Structure 1
């Protein structure tokens, strides 16, 4: 594999990896299984001549291992052990380091976005040490709410502040009204996030090479309101026209809006990086995790 190549695929950029020397492992807090996998990663790293530190915030102090805050780890690659939530939180924390993240699943968590399973860490670390991997750079979705800028991996949502009451919203794309009425809320998802909340709300699944966002109404009063696939460069404005709304993304609250206030959402110029190792095709993985071939989603 040649060093330095970059392949642009829709909202993603794929580039070749280089041999890794230093890792930092973040785990799902409170998970004994995730911590056990992290210890195996540390042991395998030592055998390969790699330096491995454990993220103190997520794992606490682990006897016999070096524990540092992820942000101070100076790692070449961050390893997230847990489910999709752990991976997304690690991606947000990795912004300052600008290091790629390798997602490792554990059996107790849903990890569609992760690259390998817990039992595959030895092979994964060998590939990292030898530079046998690629790095996929993916765009965040960005929003501006009440003068503040926020980023999300999966989606930005504008939902009713009161869970028992609908909120009236007006949605404009490039200045044109596409949706207006009462609903539980609306979300704007990335291609990566199209298999998460948006899918549960009835939105389509986007291939990661599709340069688009998904606008998905959540329980609209008018049943003809349907999800809309939007070019990622277009700007989506969501304005509150009745009631109060909460703006959030990736489980982080961004702010609250009253009548007349709005949030502007679009693809960000800022990217995050994921380590890619598998030879498994996109559609095979999608079918395996979402059980499409079995006619339903996992329970």
Structure 2
């Protein structure tokens, strides 16, 4: 990967994140690489070769959403938080940049979910949840015209392979290796004993029908509401997100054990 311009995006709410980002900018400029720094709330999809997201998983998810549909590589740097998606911590930033500049880094393409008739896409998951007023809803999930789930409860999470270790996992969903081409449908606190998570082919088109008012969340951010009788359609997005992985980085299961115990 040739580095000509790098954009550092940091979470201004994370202590020390801006200083880490500026340290990366200084490293780039000392080597003749154009570099800029910006807080994530003012981040725009500029023409860059690499985006370095300094903060936590939320910073990386929002950077990826802003970049979409451009598959600009993202290097995640976590600031002592969970950082499951990150490639390194703050101390490892310079080493990671050196690996990228030397052509020793790897790129992983990760599928995204598209909300049909909306600009929203998700790297981790889309959740349909009860509204803030009642925290309860009633939903049905349909695939190819067939009802596959129907239950009252707190909601449902539809996760990508990468997002299967996030919200869906806490709802009883299975661990799914990111290279497995599957979607996870995980009910959230269903009020039915027989309701279980589903594993579906990655290219499955999924419809979630609200029978009681609900809210829609994409990668942890609210994007809208569903009235009773309204539907949300989800499908595989046409573009992916490229994440940078560096030599010697922890493997998937090691990261799971270290981050989640």
Question: Contact (CA 8 Å) 1:84, 1:111: kept in 2 or not?
Answer: yes
Q: Does 1:252 align with 2:221?
A: yes
The aligned counterpart of 2:147 is 177
Asked whether the 8 Å contact 2:11–2:39 carries over to 1, the reply is no
Tell me how far apart the structure 2 counterparts of residues 83 and 125 of structure 1 sit (CA, whole Å). Answer: 18
Q: Does 1:203 align with 2:138?
A: no
- The residue aligned with 1:100 is 73
Query: What is the TM-score when the length of structure 2 is the normalising length?
Result: 0.93
Decide which structure has the larger Cα Rg and report it: 1
1:84 counterpart = 2:67: no
1:234 Cα offset (Å): 1.3
Q: CA RMSD in A?
A: 1.8
Q: Distance in 2 between matches of 1:268 and 1:57?
A: 23
Map of 1:219 onto structure 2: 189
2-structure distance, mates of 1:259, 1:149: 22
Contact kept, 8 Å, 2:202 with 2:236, in 1: the verdict is: yes
CA offsets 1:13-44 (integer angstroms, 9 cap, x no match): xxxxx231221100012333111111211222
Classify 1:216/1:57 alpha carbon distance in 2 versus 1 (closer, same or farther; 3 Å). closer
Equivalence for 1:187: 157
Structure 1 residue 232: Cα displacement: 1.1
Could you tell me the TM-score, scaled by structure 1's length? 0.81
Distance in structure 2 (CA, Å) of the matches to 1:139 and 1:46? 33
Is structure 2 residue 37 aligned with structure 1 residue 54? yes
Unaligned runs of 5+ in 2: none
Query: Deviation at 1:164?
Result: 2.6
TM superposition shift of 1:167: 1.2
- Partner of 1:269, secondary structure, is coil
Kindly indicate whether the alpha-carbon contact (under 8 Å) linking 2:7 and 2:36 is maintained by their aligned counterparts in 1.
yes
Alignment of 1:43 with 2:26, yes or no, is yes
**Superposed displacement of residue 219, structure 1:** 0.7
How many angstroms does 1:162 deviate by?
4.1
Q: Distance in 2 between matches of 1:96 and 1:54?
A: 22
Q: 2-side partners of 1:218 and 1:250: how far apart?
A: 16
Deviations for 1:126-171, whole angstroms, at most 9, x for unmatched residues?
1122221122121111122xx4342111111111124535211111
Which whole-Å CA distance do the structure 1 matches of 2:64 and 2:18 have between them?
19
